[in-house]
């Protein structure tokens, strides 16, 4: 359908993955499950954009974007947990949470455009 690298939402989600990964690398021992889940959900956002961009139809691409939106919601809660556990500083959490929400808004907008051309 299109090259995922040309999608602004993919570029932003890729950078978000790198920032979250850098953040989770500093998680103390005992939080490996949260670290794994958070990394997986954030990576899933970008992975599904890549996979969906190769879809044969706009409707199929929109389905992959819906999965990305769900992953974004999961990562939002996982980031909140990390903040509430005290393993992410509030200012760092705020930046990551804001970026996560911005990406989700972009995904919702792209999905709406695909389903209602």
pLDDT by 10s per residue, the chain, length 117: 689 999 999 999 999 999 999 999 999 999 999 999 999 999 999 999 999 999 999 999 999 999 999 999 999 999 999 999 999 999 999 999 999 999 999 999 999 999 997
Q: Is 57 helix (H, G, I), strand (E, B) or coil?
A: coil
Token pair in block for residue 56: 């044969």
Q: Give the pLDDT confidence score for residue 88 in this predicted structure.
A: 97
Domain segments of the chain: what residues? 4-115
Is-contact 34 75, C-beta < 8 A? no
Of 108, 68, 106, 76, the C-alpha closest to 94 is: 76
Q: Give the pLDDT confidence score for residue 1 in this predicted structure.
A: 65
Q: Is 2 helix (H, G, I), strand (E, B) or coil?
A: coil
Separation between Cα atoms, residue 114 and residue 99, nearest integer Å: 23
| Alpha helices per DSSP H over 1-117 | 8-24, 32-53, 58-84, 90-115
Q: Which CATH architecture best describes the domain 4-115?
A: Up-down Bundle (1.20)
Separation between Cα atoms, residue 19 and residue 97, nearest integer Å: 11
Task: Please state, as a whole number, how many other Cβ atoms lie within 10 Å of the Cβ of residue 68.
Answer: 28
Q: Give the pLDDT confidence score for residue 2 in this predicted structure.
A: 81
């Amino acid at each position: 359908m299109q090259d995922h690298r040309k999608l602004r939402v993919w570029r932003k989600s890729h950078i978000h993955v790198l920032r979250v990964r850098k953040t989770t690398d500093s998680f103390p021992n005992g939080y490996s499950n949260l670290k794994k889940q958070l990394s997986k959900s954030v990576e899933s956002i970008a992975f599904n954009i890549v996979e969906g961009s190769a879809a044969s139809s706009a409707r199929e691409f929109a389905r992959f974007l819906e999965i990305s939106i769900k992953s974004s919601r999961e990562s939002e809660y996982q980031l909140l947990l990390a903040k509430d556990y005290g393993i992410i500083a509030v200012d760092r959490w705020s930046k990551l949470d804001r970026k996560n929400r911005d990406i989700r808004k972009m995904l919702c907008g792209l999905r709406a455009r695909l389903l209602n051309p």
